[in-house]
Amino acid sequence: MNAAEIEELLIKLVQIPAPTGREQKRAEYITDWLKELGYHPFTDAAGNVIVEMKVQEGGYTVLMAHMDTVFEDVDTSVVKNANILSAPGIGDDTCNAAFLMAVMKTLIGQKCRPLKNLLFVFDTGEEGLGNCRGTRQLMQDYKDKVDEVISFDLGSDAVCVKAVGSKRYRVTVTAPGGHSFHAFGQKGAIETAAEMIHEIYRIKPCEGTQTTYNVGMIEGGTSVNTIAQKCTFLAEVRSDDAQALQKIDEQLCNIFDSFNNAEGFAKVQISYELTGFRPTGNGVPEAAQKALADTAAEVICRYTGREPVRRSGSTDCNIPLSMGIPAVSFGGYRGGGAHTRQEWVDAGSFEEGYNIILAFIGKYFIWKD
């Protein structure tokens, strides 16, 4: 496929909304598209679209791109200005999904034969509270039959080689509430939540690691003149170090617990639930992980002329890395504004992006002379 055809495919994909948990319509489109090419895709319990190529006994290499985006019910119309295409979710990860589809079209068109067992996967639930649902299902179904995982995510400027683990909580605060004038002084749910959040932002991250925290959403209250009876907020902690993640998680939970029936908060109740957990890496063979990262970096450098940064990240690779399976994540496009409604990609990078993905995947195939 040429750059114009990839652009056409990308625009079609991005205009099919696929918020986390509701990827079905995009999955149906990808399934039908692959069937027309002659593939035999199937859908698993998590809604992943999978094409399996088994040629021998032994394990699989997983080649995947996630279908979901972070946006709920927004206008996904594409705005084009010269080579710049803008739309929510157009880069992360729709562009890499389009590249993967384009490469699969080339492979079947050239009648290439796989050298080893492969799984092509368009997966669900990578973003946010999706908690890597699709990858978890895939790794559960194939268990010890996966040799390595390549997630086509991100742009072409980086290779993710280390997993950033995270824990995410939904915190609920309830209080008696009342009229803002007549019950003034009564503890309210929003006031309590604000004090808790203030304490969270006083946590000192672990030195020597990149360890972070964030409160990302706050909801609650009834009206401007009502002392709120209920308030909820979402909080997370992250680290690429397992011990640091555990330590900061304990500090976070201690803050939640300290406000429950504390002095001055006798009628206030705090509850919290773990809504997402992404593990850090565990026991990954260093040589195999380095070899996979080196191959990805070499291919990117070959087509862009730039050496990509090797960094930590929170991606679908967290799950295999936590199981000791080599995994890397990288993409092919140039763009920016990920996770914003102004996200953009440069159509001038489509040819090199396609070639990056094709060159990496091509080493698993015998090409017809």
Q: What is the pLDDT of residues 189-222, one digit of tens each?
A: 999 999 999 999 999 988 888 999 999 999 999 9
pLDDT of residue 74: 78
Q: 132 vs 96, 164, 312, 326, 333, CA distance in Å?
A: 17, 13, 16, 17, 22
Q: 287 vs 283, 284, 290, CA distance in Å?
A: 12, 9, 5
**Do residues 134 and 192 lie in contact, with contact meaning Cβ atoms separated by under 8 Å?**
no
| Mean pLDDT across the chain | 95
Q: What is the pLDDT of residues 247-290, one digit of tens each?
A: 999 999 999 999 886 777 778 999 999 999 999 999 999 999 99
| Cα 196–chain centre separation | 28
pLDDT of residue 205: 87
Residue 246 above 80 pLDDT? Answer: yes
Q: What is the pLDDT of residues 73-121, one digit of tens each?
A: 778 899 999 999 999 999 999 999 999 999 999 999 999 999 999 999 9
**Torsional class of 21: left (φ above 0), alpha (ψ -120 to 50), beta (otherwise):** left
pLDDT of residue 261: 67
Q: What is the pLDDT of residues 325-353, one digit of tens each?
A: 999 999 999 999 999 999 999 999 999 99
CATH 3.40.630.10 applies to domain 3-164+280-366: yes
- Among residues of the chain, what percentage have pLDDT more than 70? 99
**Torsional class of 329: left (φ above 0), alpha (ψ -120 to 50), beta (otherwise):** beta
Specify the DSSP class assigned to residue 335: E
Q: What does the domain layout of the chain look like in residue ranges?
A: 3-164+280-366, 165-278
What's the token pair of residue 111? 């009648």
d(Cα 13, Cα 344) in Å, to the nearest integer?
A: 15
pLDDT of residue 163: 97
pLDDT of residue 369: 61
pLDDT of residue 158: 97
Secondary-structure class of domain 165-278 per CATH: alpha beta
